Structure 1
């Protein structure tokens, strides 16, 4: 049990309050608020959400392009190939990058876009924008056997032949 406090008279309590050296967070905050004037022109920083943090690159205004807007070479007769890959496994990413690099090397003037929209789950699809579907593997379950059995070099060469 804690010891009882001493009772003081009115004069003693005023003297004790003046000599108090106790500093708390709230007293510091109140003292700082009284000293500095409120800044009305300074906006508050955005509140951060808990969870994963992602780094975003700031693009200059001249370089800002949305994935839906066609590039100038596409308007001049070039083709756009869309690769839709699921984001649930790294195998989809590896194969999508392999197809993208193979098509860009194999066909001049082709633009390859990976996931311009939110992808479907268990999906690996290669198609021409607004046209032919070259490869479509939908609703695959783990361990994604239809995709792992594919020879990607053969798939790339078949797509290159169909484009030409």
Structure 2
């Protein structure tokens, strides 16, 4: 036979807070329950304030200030022909590290040789077996396409001569 139902008075008498048994076993559900019980007891936290963004070093158009005002530099909106020719794009294949080594060598050589030049490495997805150095307006300095292993055409290049030729073309 089933036990009789308890009345509310009897239930209140039976409810006594017992300390949780000390077990060495911690399950996901017990951790979740413990976290929820702690969350109920804690005072609601204040929302975190957003960090102010740092202003760009140079050539930055947008500068954000702590009071959320945005300032736009008007003079940087127009690019002259010198600024476009001062950007060089190096597209190199990601198939082999020799492409990357030569691209970085050209990048450091151009940045040291021409002040104020911008060198971009793989701004778009590179083509396979490709090593190409060009200006942003489309003038190609070197274009080696569809190379197969062991990439002899690229490895035969003297990179110091290539860098000096590109610097002369940019300056002259």
Q: TM-score range by the shorter chain?
A: 0.5 to 0.7
CA offsets 1:95-115 (integer angstroms, 9 cap, x no match): 112212333344455433323
Q: State the alpha-carbon separation in 2 of the partners of residues 122 and 149 from structure 1.
A: 15
Is 1:125 matched up with 2:125? Answer: no
Correspondence for 1:99: 106
1:100 is paired with a residue whose SS is helix
2:38 is paired with a residue whose SS is helix
Is 1:75 matched up with 2:80? Answer: yes
Q: State the alpha-carbon separation in 2 of the partners of residues 41 and 135 from structure 1.
A: 54
Q: TM-score, normalised by structure 1?
A: 0.57
Output aligned runs, 1:24-103, within 5 Å.
Answer: 24-37=30-43, 39=45, 41=47, 60-63=54-57, 75=80, 77=82, 79-80=85-86, 81-103=88-110
**Is there any run of 5+ residues in structure 2 with no aligned partner, and where?**
1-5, 7-13, 24-29, 61-75
CA RMSD of aligned residues (A): 3.9
C-alpha deviation, 1:27, in angstroms: 4.1
Correspondence for 1:21: 21
Is 1:159 matched up with 2:166? Answer: yes
**Is there any run of 5+ residues in structure 1 with no aligned partner, and where?**
1-9, 44-58
Q: TM-score, normalised by structure 2?
A: 0.55
Structure having greater relative contact order (Cα 8 Å, sep ≥ 6): 1
